[in-house]
Amino acid sequence: MKISAPELFLDINPKSLVGCTNESLRFSPHRQWEVFLNKLCLETVSSWLKEDDPSGVEPWPNTATLPSFWEVVNGTALALSGIKLVLIPSESIDMDEIRVPQEWVDIPSWSADYYIPVRVNPNEGWIKIHGFARHRDLKSMGIYDPSDRCYSLASEKLINDVCLLWVAQELSLNERVAVDPLAPLSLTQAQSLLQRLGNPSIVDPQFEVPFSMWASLIAHDGWRQQLSDQRRGIPNQQSVQQWLESGISEIGRQLGWSRVEFQTTSSALARSETAEDPTGAIAFKRDLSISGVDCKLWIHQIESTVAENVWRFELRSPSSSNLAPGICLRLLTEDLQPFENNEVTSEGNQSELYIEVALEPGEGLVWEIDPSPEHYVQEILRF
């Protein structure tokens, strides 16, 4: 039951202690305790929020990507029916202020409406929520500390009544203020940073480079996933060639990819000549929800052009219906740059959109769809 009080205590489910401990062991050693606190906080607070809104509380952007965040920053974002929250767990007894990592405040796509400091006490089996702060308050009244790149706000400046979050939810209040856009990284810069910062012996990689470069690197979902994997000693999980040889990786399955037999069709190629029409191939597909409509994204290699490494991306509408007009399927390079014939847009009389593209061995692509599918994240699929 939600009550109006300066402090809110929630009981930790004993089963969560075991599960969160096991999950934390999958991370680099110096991150394990912080990951344990974040997962315990997420499970406890989510269970409480779902008492009133069972279907409207979800990790942002999705559950599969949480490890890539936890490996590089403290905090967990939640989407709550129109508003965005960031939980900031701590085991500190002194809760006289909230300290929010700069990433959650100054990366435009990461910023939230509200930030909730959570004291976690695993030994006694409870967590405590002591109010919350708005993004606009952190930017206008918060003190930025360059030594740990955090914004701090004194506890007396927090909004103590947690129930006001539900008022904000009902009113769909936007409590975020504009922040400066990030400067893009070139592919060469990103590869250099990944090679350097992916070394798990570097305890705090965020302090090895200026914040602007660090933020641009981890704001890219694909690069952040790659950084997290490297620091955890996990081989590349987004190699489609490896998917063909060894099966879909764990993160691929979590994102919804599955392996199927697929009948191919002929079409024009982007950045290559037209391929001959093969009769069948191994394909990978995942279900998407676009503006509330279920669709499927397919990718497969054109078998007659295996030596040229030609791949087809195809967006299909449900059953025999047509895609809504204006839907755009787009491919970008790994550093999110367009290329010739890289997108196609539905005119409303098609049941599928497709792009075929010839790639260099090991080249990475990022797919996009406009409007963006539910829970979309940038994936670097390597071919």
Judge whether residue 25 has pLDDT over 90: yes
Band (pLDDT 50/70/90 cuts) for residue 3 is very low
Rounded CA-CA distance 111/31 in Å is: 22
Q: Report percent pLDDT > 70 for the chain.
A: 92
Nearest residue to 132 (alpha-carbon basis) of 251, 267, 8, 3: 8
pLDDT one-digit tens code per residue, 252-308: 999 999 999 766 554 433 433 333 333 457 899 999 999 999 999 999 998 766 668
pLDDT score of 6: 57
pLDDT at residue 271, as a whole number:
39
Q: What pLDDT sits at residue 270?
A: 42
Side-chain-side CA neighbours of 292 within 13 Å: the count stands at: 0
Decide: 309 and 301 in contact? Cβ < 8 Å.
yes
Euclidean distance between CA atoms 57 and 71, whole angstroms: 23
Cross-strand bridge partners of residue 150 = 101, 145
| pLDDT, position 319 | 76
The shares of helix, strand and coil residues in the chain, as percent rounded to the nearest 5, are: 30, 30, 40
- Position 222 scores a pLDDT of 97
CA angle 218, 288, 232 (to 5 degrees): 35
Mean pLDDT of the chain: 90
Average pLDDT over residues 32-61: 91
Position with higher pLDDT, 341 vs 268: 341
Least confident of 42-51, 176-185, 314-323: 314-323
Residues 174-232 pLDDT 10s: 789 999 999 999 999 999 999 999 999 999 999 999 999 999 999 999 999 999 999 99
pLDDT exceeds 50 at position 157: yes
Query: Mean of the pLDDT values across residues 361-365?
Result: 94
Instruction: Give the pLDDT of residue 277.
Output: 38
d(C-alpha 382, C-alpha 84), whole Å: 32
Dist. CA 131–CA 37, nearest whole Å:
19
Taking only the tens place, the pLDDT of each residue in 115-128 is 999 999 999 999 99
Residue 282 half-sphere exposure, CB side, CA atoms within 13 Å? Answer: 13
pLDDT at 305: 62
For the stretch 48-78, pLDDT in tens is 988 877 677 899 999 999 999 999 999 999 9
Predicted confidence band of residue 1 (pLDDT cuts 50, 70, 90): very low
What pLDDT does 164 receive?
A: 80
Q: DSSP characters for 64-128?
A: GGHHHHHTT-S-EEEEETTEEEEEEEE--S--SEEEEEHHHHHSTTT--SEEEEEEEETTTTEEE
Residue 344 has pLDDT above 60, yes or no: yes
Question: Each residue of 84-111: pLDDT tens digit?
Answer: 999 999 998 777 889 999 999 999 999 9
Q: Where are the beta strands (DSSP E) in 122-212?
A: 126-129, 133-134, 143-145, 150-154
